[in-house]
Structure 1
Amino acid sequence: MKVLIVSDSHGKGKLLNQIVERVKADHVIHCGDFCTDEKQLPACSLTVVRGNCDWEQVPMEQIWKRDSLTFFVTHGHRYQVKTTPLPVRYRAQELGAQIACFGHSHFPFCEKVGDVLLINPGSITLPRGFPFPTYAVLTKEKDLLTVTYYKTDGTPTRQRGFKGRLD
């Protein structure tokens, strides 16, 4: 399984579509602040949530399940993610999710906290406190998960990421 995780594209639909075409993931998760009409989002298997800058009436939170994994997806502005990831972790636990995907801070973050893998892909357009725009790709092979961060041109970064099991 291969999942592309993006956030905070802020109206850059062409760039978002280029990344989706390049990665060729089985599923795409957009953690909000897409800032376009919903019909301009990529035509693919997609889970999308509304960010604080979005006007489309998509859900504020979603659960997506695949290959024995449950993903909690939110933008993060309602969970104080600029201060601490713990409220997102607690919400993921309440919902029985092993993975929480969120954005809002425009800062890439990937860490397993307790029994939840927290993933913020950063922003593909407006990084904050990080030298370049990023997105994340999660792959699952058997029970091994890998999260790799990429620059928007497709170059993998050496910063951030995860490799391991969730048990």
Structure 2
Amino acid sequence: MKLLIVSDSHGLQDELIVIKERHADVDKMIHCGDSELLQNSKEMANFLSVRGNCDYDASYVNDRVEKVGEATCLVTHGHLYNVKMSMMNLHYKAREVGANVACFGHSHVAGAEVMDGVLFINPGSILLPRMRKERTYAILEVEDNEATVQFYDISGDRIPSMQLTCTLA
């Protein structure tokens, strides 16, 4: 199973289309909010998307839980869980819904870590990154419960220092 994860594109259109075309081999695509685009726009087509604090299209949902292969993914933007301060609320929500992967954005800080059996993935921002210069997104691959998260810059180049491999619970 292969999953494309983006967040915080804040109005970018051409870049979303290029990223989708570049990774046409993925099984699913996730947008963790703050696209600032209409949910039914061509740029957002085929994304499992959620509403961020800068999204004004009321047809977006705040959270979604998606079963993708061996992963049960909680997808949210993160602002409703105060992720800039602590991961505790998001962790509780992931546990509540039975997710072993939590995909979120909001902070624009790219990263992946495992806490208490849940893999947390923030793909960063493809427009306004924080804590690093690269504008980033992520690919999650899962095979036989082994998960690998690899980050890419906006040009599609891997960022070798940003990779995590772990076992999904």
Give the TM-score band, short-chain normalised. over 0.9
What is the letter of the counterpart of residue 53 of structure 2? N
Match of 2:53 in 1: 52
Match of 1:31 in 2: 32
For structure 2, the 5+ residue unaligned runs are none
**Contact 1:29–1:47 (CA<8 Å) still a contact in 2?**
yes
Q: SS at 2:89's partner residue?
A: helix
108, 111, 118: which one pairs with 1:109? 111
TM score, norm. by length of structure 2? 0.94
Deviation at 1:109, TM superposition (A): 1.6
TM score, norm. by length of structure 1? 0.95
Q: SS at 1:20's partner residue?
A: helix
Of residues 152-161 and 30-39 in structure 1, the stretch that sits farther from structure 2 once superposed is 152-161
**Contact 1:20–1:42 (CA<8 Å) still a contact in 2?**
no
Deviation at 1:98, TM superposition (A): 0.3
What is the letter of the counterpart of residue 72 of structure 2? T
> Alignment RMSD, CA only?
1.1
Count of aligned pairs between the two proteins: 166
Match of 1:22 in 2: 22
Match of 2:97 in 1: 95
Of residues 24-33 and 138-147 in structure 1, the stretch that sits farther from structure 2 once superposed is 138-147
Q: How does 1:1-12 map to 2 (within 5 A)?
A: 1-12=1-12
Deviation at 1:142, TM superposition (A): 2.2
Of residues 153-162 and 69-78 in structure 1, the stretch that sits farther from structure 2 once superposed is 153-162
Deviation at 1:160, TM superposition (A): 2.8
For structure 1, the 5+ residue unaligned runs are none
Deviation at 1:161, TM superposition (A): 2.7
Deviation at 1:84, TM superposition (A): 1.7
Question: Kindly, what percent of the aligned residue pairs are identical?
Answer: 43
Residue deviations 1:41-61, cap 9 Å, x none? Answer: 3432x2100000001121000
CA distance in 2, matches of 1:164, 1:115: 10
**Contact 1:121–1:135 (CA<8 Å) still a contact in 2?**
yes
